[in-house]
């Protein structure tokens, strides 16, 4: 069976639906904080969702371009979640492909995908200017 996912920046109409996924990823996150994190179009552009053909959100991730002192221009991905009972790897592949295209557009040479979502909501509210790349996966865009 072939599955298709539409990956796009988080839209205003999907904020509440995406919160259902984010509650699983970051249990300490409440709806009020989530709405604050996604209040403006610029804030929502930092987030993207993977939706199946029926419109169900099957993945969510956050992307922030940063300058790292050793790695240079880097796309930091502190939240990367794929949720599917039958095609989790397909959702993940689509998300990584989207992040790679995003990184190329932003001039980033590397992508840093965290090994787990931030334990603190503070990291989501104020991303690190220089992320700790000592954990997770570093993916070359080139």
Q: How many CB atoms lie within 10 A of CB 89?
A: 9
Give Cα 104 to chain centroid, integer Å. 16
Q: Is residue 83, in this structure, part of any structural domain at all?
A: yes
- Measured distance CA(67)–CA(73) in Å, rounded: 5
Task: Write the pLDDT tens digit of every residue in 104-142.
Answer: 999 999 999 988 877 777 777 766 666 777 778 898 998
Q: Domains in the chain: how many in total?
A: 1
Q: Is residue 89, in this structure, part of any structural domain at all?
A: yes
Q: Is residue 1, in this structure, part of any structural domain at all?
A: no
Closest CA to 75 of 137, 3, 18: 137
Write the CATH number for 62.
Answer: 3.40.630.30
pLDDT at 142: 80
Q: What is the pTM (predicted TM-score) of this model?
A: 0.86
Q: Which domain holds residue 131?
A: 6-140
Task: Write the pLDDT tens digit of every residue in 33-81.
Answer: 999 999 999 999 999 999 999 999 999 999 999 998 888 999 999 999 9
């Amino acid at each position: 069976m072939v599955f298709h996912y539409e990956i796009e920046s988080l839209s205003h109409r999907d904020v509440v639906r995406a919160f259902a996924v984010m509650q699983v990823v970051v249990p300490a996150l409440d709806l009020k904080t989530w709405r604050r994190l996604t209040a403006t179009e610029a804030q929502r552009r930092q987030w993207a969702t993977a939706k199946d053909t029926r419109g169900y959100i099957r993945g969510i991730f956050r992307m922030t371009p940063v300058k790292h002192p050793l790695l240079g221009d880097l796309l930091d991905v502190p939240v990367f979640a794929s949720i599917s009972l039958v095609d989790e790897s397909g959702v993940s592949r689509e998300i990584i492909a989207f992040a790679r295209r995003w990184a190329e557009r932003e001039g980033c040479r590397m992508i840093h995908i965290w090994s787990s979502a931030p334990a603190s909501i503070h990291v989501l509210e104020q991303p690190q200017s220089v992320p700790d790349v000592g954990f997770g996966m570093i993916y070359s865009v080139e």
